[in-house]
Amino acid sequence: MQLTELLNAAGVNASRRGADARVVRLTADSRQAGPGCCFVAVRGPSADGHDYIPAAVAAGASSVVCDAGYRGPLPEAFAAVADTRPAVGPLAQALAGWPARRLTLLAVTGTNGKTTVAHLVRHVLGACGRPAGMIGTIGHDVGSATVQAANTTPGPVELADLMARMVQAGCAAAVMEASSHALDQRRACGLDFAAAAFTNLTGDHLDYHGTPERYGQAKARLFADLAPTATAVLNRDDPAWRIMAAPTAARVVTYGQGGGADLVARIAAMDASGSTFDILWDGRRAAVRTNLIGRHNIANLLAAAGLCLAAGEDLDAVAGALCRPIAVPGRLQAVPTGGPFQVVVDYAHTDDAIANVLATLRPLTQGRLIVLFGCGGDRDRTKRPRVARAVAGQADRIVLTQDNPRTEDPQRILDDILAGFDAAARARLTVQPDRREAIRLAIEAAAPGDMVLLAGKGHETYQIIGTTRHPFDDVQVAGEVLAARAGAEVGP
Spatial separation of the C-alpha atoms in residues 199 and 464, rounded to whole Å:
28
* Chain segment 295-344, per-residue pLDDT in tens: 999 999 999 999 999 999 999 999 999 999 999 999 999 999 998 999 99
Does the pLDDT value for residue 56 go beyond 90? yes
Three-state SS annotation for the chain: CEHHHHHHHHCCCEEEECECCECCEEECCHHHCCCCEEEECCECCCCEHHHHHHHHHHCCCCEEEEECCCCCCCCCEEEEECCCHHHHHHHHHHHCCCHHHHCEEEEEECCCCHHHHHHHHHHHHHHCCCCEEEECCCCEECCCCEECCCCCCCCHHHHHHHHHHHHHCCCCEEEEECCHHHHHCCCCCCCCCCEEEECCCCCCCHHHHCCHHHHHHHHHHHHHCCCCCCEEEEECCCCCHHHHHCCCCCEEEEEECCCCCCEEEEEEEEECCEEEEEEEECCEEEEEEECCCCHHHHHHHHHHHHHHHHCCCCHHHHHHHHCCCCCCCCCCEEECCCCCCEEEEECCCCHHHHHHHHHHHHHHCCCCEEEEECCCCCCCCCHHHHHHHHHHCCCCEEEECCCCCECCCHHHHHHHHHCCCCHHHHCCEEECCCHHHHHHHHHHCCCCCCEEEEECCCCCCEEEECCEEEECCHHHHHHHHHHHHHHHHHCC
* Chain segment 104-131, per-residue pLDDT in tens: 999 999 999 999 999 999 999 999 999 9
Does the pLDDT value for residue 91 go beyond 80? yes
Spatial separation of the C-alpha atoms in residues 85 and 399, rounded to whole Å:
43
pLDDT of res. 204: 63
**Between residues 206 and 290, which one has the greater pLDDT?**
290
Average pLDDT, the chain: 95
pLDDT of res. 45: 83
pLDDT of res. 213: 85
* Chain segment 219-270, per-residue pLDDT in tens: 999 999 999 999 999 999 999 999 999 999 999 999 999 889 999 999 999 9
Does the pLDDT value for residue 490 go beyond 80? no
Name the band, by pLDDT with cuts 50, 70 and 90, for residue 211. Answer: confident
Burial degree of 367 (CB within 10 A; 0-12, 13-18, 19+): middle
* Chain segment 158-176, per-residue pLDDT in tens: 999 999 999 999 999 999 9
pTM value? 0.92
In this prediction, residues 142-151 reach a mean pLDDT of 86
Geometric angle at alpha carbon 49, from 44 and 51, rounded to 5°: 125
Cα distances (angstroms) measured from residue 52 to each of 39, 72, 90, 230, 417: 9, 11, 22, 38, 39
414-417 long-range Cβ contacts below 8 angstroms, 24+ apart = 414/374, 416/375, 416/381, 416/384, 416/385, 417/374, 417/375, 417/384, 417/385, 417/387, 417/388
* Chain segment 65-79, per-residue pLDDT in tens: 999 999 999 999 999
* 262 Cβ contact partners less than 8 Å away, ≥ 6 residues apart: 253, 254, 255, 281, 282
In this prediction, residues 385-414 reach a mean pLDDT of 98
For the chain, list the domains and their CATH numbers.
3-90 (3.40.1390.10), 99-322 (3.40.1190.10), 333-490 (3.90.190.20)
Percent residues over pLDDT 90 in the chain = 89
pLDDT of res. 148: 85
In this prediction, residues 5-32 reach a mean pLDDT of 96
pLDDT of res. 205: 61
pLDDT of res. 59: 97
Spatial separation of the C-alpha atoms in residues 171 and 31, rounded to whole Å:
31
Percent residues over pLDDT 70 in the chain = 98
Does the pLDDT value for residue 355 go beyond 80? yes
Name the band, by pLDDT with cuts 50, 70 and 90, for residue 203. Answer: low
Longest C-alpha distance within the chain, in Å? 80
pLDDT of res. 209: 61
Burial degree of 177 (CB within 10 A; 0-12, 13-18, 19+): buried
In this prediction, residues 430-458 reach a mean pLDDT of 98
CB 459 within 8 A of CB 330: yes
